[in-house]
Homo-oligomer: A and B are copies of this chain.
Amino acid sequence: MKIEDLISQIRQKKSFLCVGLDTDLDKIPRHLLEEEDPIFAFNKAIIDATHPYCVAYKPNIAFYEAYGLNGWRSLERTMVYLNEKHPEIFTIADAKRGDIGNTSTRYAKAFFETMKFDSITIAPYMGKDSVEPFLEFKDRHTILLALTSNQGAFDFQTKNVSGRELYKEVLSVSKTYKGAERLMYVVGATKATYLADVRKLVPESFLLVPGVGAQGGSLQEVCKYGITKDVGLLVNSSRGIIYASAETDFAESAEKKAQQIQEEMEIELAKIN
């Protein structure tokens, strides 16, 4: 997907919501376990209910891998369904991959070609030649981890490297990579004030912001420090939407929750137009 198409979808839906598909057999409504493919049945119902209010879906790959072949099959079905029914919606493989050159090329093929994702999350630790193979794919996007929303982010990401925090070094160095125009970044919302610093280094890049809702971040804070004239934000909510109810009304509850966030986003978007 071209970045312009993502931006135009955001303006049309008045939303920059990404729904995280962290689908867990222990948490989905019990009646779905009778389905032939409960994970896909759950995802399909969530997508059918929430798609008017969001611009992106982000399957968390770990949740599918945990179920082996069956999980992988559910993921493939979900992607086929999304690409057929909602090709305008941006898809993110939350995979946090990254390896030496020829191996990264394999991962890129797996997610961009075999599964037809629009984007993938990547860990920066192995540097340039682990990231650039992903950047070669036209109209595909690589979302590099900069500052994550977990406690462990303070182990290394905020440590001082050559006079600035490691996550700033990642932002800055990655801008020199070939194909850097196809980079986006993960910046956790639990530290919204960091977003002002992030914007000094990547004033225009799209940021994928996890940690709003269940993890405690505030949408208003994120927008205050992170929004750009072309929005430049995808704010993710996973558990807060998909597990809004564990009963037979789960899809309806997810829809309500997504709509509620979309309405808050509409207010924020009105401020920049």
Which residues of A are interface residues toward B (Cβ below 8 A)? Answer: 22, 60, 62-63, 65-69, 71-73, 76, 94, 96-101, 103-104, 106-107, 109-110, 114-115, 123-131, 145, 148-157, 159-162, 166, 169-170, 173
Contact = CB atoms under 8 A, between A and B. Distances in A.
Contacts of A104: 62
Contacts of A161: 156, 159-161, 166
Task: Work out how many copies of this chain go into the complex.
Answer: 2
29 contacts: A62-B97, A62-B99, A62-B103, A62-B107, A63-B103, A66-B110, A67-B114, A68-B72, A68-B76, A68-B115, A69-B69, A69-B73, A96-B97, A100-B149, A100-B150, A123-B125, A124-B125, A124-B156, A125-B125, A125-B145, A126-B145, A126-B152, A127-B154, A127-B157, A129-B150, A130-B150, A156-B170, A159-B166, A161-B161
B98 A127 contact: no
A152 B123 contact: no
A22 B121 CA distance: 22
A165 to B, nearest CB: 10
